[in-house]
Amino acid sequence: MTASSAAALLPWLAGLPFAASLPLALSPNSARGAAAWIAGVATLAGCALLLALAGPVFDGEVLRWSIDWVPALGLELGFR
């Protein structure tokens, strides 16, 4: 995997816990088993994303991803 394609995974890695928190917050208290599965799958998916990012990082590259947030002010949203 190239560094640029690996860097595209950074926002997914950052957003995964927030995406998993929505169904967890909306699940009833009686669905504790389903909530545990959702939390576990989100954790394993995060670990898989980290594993996919490990190759370029171990090769000494710094993964960077950014998008213009407020272009008129020169502000960008970025992950490193």
The CA distance from 9 to 44, in Å, is: 15
Total number of domains constituting the chain: 1
76 vs 47: CA distance, rounded Å: 27
- Tokens describing residue 25: 């917050």
Average model confidence (pLDDT) across the chain: 92
pTM of this prediction? 0.79
Identify the CA nearest to 45 among candidates 13, 23, 21, 3: 13
Please determine, for residue 36, whether its predicted confidence score (pLDDT) is greater than 90.
yes
8, 27, 71 from 13: Cα distances, Å: 9, 23, 24
Q: Domain span at residue 61?
A: 3-79
Dump pLDDT digits (tens) for 40-72. 999 999 999 999 999 999 999 999 999 999 999
